Amino acid sequence: MRLSPVALLFSGALLGPVPALGIPARRSKCAQADLTVELQAGTVHGVVKPENPDVRQFLGIPYGVPPVGDLRFTAPKAVESFGEIEATTIPPSCMQYLTSNVNIWTNDVLEFNQGGLNGSMGPVSEDCLTVSVWAPRGYKKNLPVLIWIYGGSFKTGGTNIPYHMPEQWIQRTQDHIVVVFNYRINFFGFPNAAGLDQDKQNLGLLDQRLAVEWVRDNIAAFGGDPNRMGLWGESAGAISVGYYSYAYPEDPIVGTLIMQSGSELLDITSPDSPHSNFTFIASQFGCGNLGPAEELACMRKVDGQAIEDFLHSYIDAGTTPSISFAPIVDEKTVFSDFYGRALDGKLAALPTIIGSNTEDGVPFVPYNPDGPDPTQASQATLLYFFCTTYKSATTRVKIGAPVFRYEYAGNFSNISPRGWMGAWHGSEIPIVFGTHSNYRGPSTALENQTSVAMQDAWVSLVAGGAVGMTSQAWPLYSQSAGGLLREFGRDVAAQTTTYGDWEAQCPDAYKP
């Protein structure tokens, strides 16, 4: 049950479970016509909230049959019919736990946790395969659509994260739609069980594909353009976007990609080929010493919260042997040779925004309220984020994909309350979502300008592809053209520069 060094770096889970909630209650009337939407599987009634009165919210629409009981540890199945629902409250996220260990997310900035909580959890459930849609008011049509995949090391994350709420962004622009969906994570999303076929282990990644298919089939009813959709994620979400572009090169459904602080080359996969982690968990719940099929059937009957409670206490205590549940290399959704696959034409050559943060590594070295070891933090930033992003970008350029590369360098005190945090991992998320001013004081003029610059660039890519980026003064990334990239948040909102000195520090394996 040994983990790779990179997997260990990301193995500290942040969140944990509470009792499951059901699907929102039905209602017979909807007071405003544009808040009722007819979909293939049923009718949904949305909500408008007074603080953002020009944004329609449709929250917790089922896209997958609840993966519970005999469907636990199975590939997702599309919901065929759900009747009529009131989609007016944030839905439960998928099963996870909140770590009791001290880190930036539990000590300094809680708004990346479910419900913005620490020591307790927002609602979670195994019945969690839902999408939520944020769209402008009225009957606008053919709007570009950004489909968000949350990060969290494939162990945490969900819809109910305060910094990930897009309504302020849409209230400002009125020119795009954001879709957020839940996907299974940790033990329930990546069980790596001996009783499952090799290509049915990465359930969370299969959830992601089904959710994208749902958006394709339903987004026009909300005013979205299914021909202008961008898949967008951060950290594990960005890794997922990278995986997706290799898994579906001939049918990506989406037309653009956005990867923040992560790519397919940031390897946090599980090396547990003997399936010993799943078997170890099974042994703790009376399912030990069974054959693969019997073991799997037995674990489908175990209470889900009991499993999460065990994972919480076992992993937080640093008990050995170490256990972890993450994507595996299955040669279907995750591949052993991404570069070779790209050269064989098995990579969707889509217009792509890709980049990282100048202090990405800060949360992944031992926590110290006075600041981490600077050498360790710098090395984590370089090796796990900058260099892998660099290689992913140059590979995509090599196969003809239009690539727009960036570095985020903002250091704003209401996002980074300790000065040494800088542009730490995830700190660009509230800038892009427009939630940066909601906590720990008002935003500065530069912070507001940086937010607008990043938001407008992200929408421009999805709305118009590479051609749409001409309005952003953001040059295509190319080594032959000097490796120009866009830097956000350092002294000015956006400027064109190079990071050649950083690129020179990358190991040869990450250089073009």
Exposed / middle / buried, residue 260 (Cβ in 10 Å: 0-12, 13-18, 19+): buried
226 upstream amide cis, omega within 30 of 0: no
11 included as an active-site residue: no
- Closest C-alpha among 417, 486, 97 to residue 260: 486
Q: Compute CA 156 distance to the chain's CA centroid, rounded to the nearest angstrom.
A: 10
Angle in degrees, CA 500, 243, 187, rounded to 5: 120
Decide: 248 and 222 in contact? Cβ < 8 Å: no
Helices (H), 225-329: 236-247, 276-283, 292-299, 304-316
Write out 151-194 in H/E/C secondary structure. Answer: CCCCCCCCCCCHHHCCHHHHHHHCCCEEEEECCCCHHHHCCCCC
Would you state the structure tokens that stand for residue 468, as one six-digit string? 């749409």
Pick the catalytic residue from 125, 235, 261, 437: 235
The β-bridge relationship of strands 494-497 and 485-488 is antiparallel
E strand or H helix at 145, and its extent?
strand 143-149
Which residue's structure tokens are 């500065």?
Answer: 444
List active site positions.
235
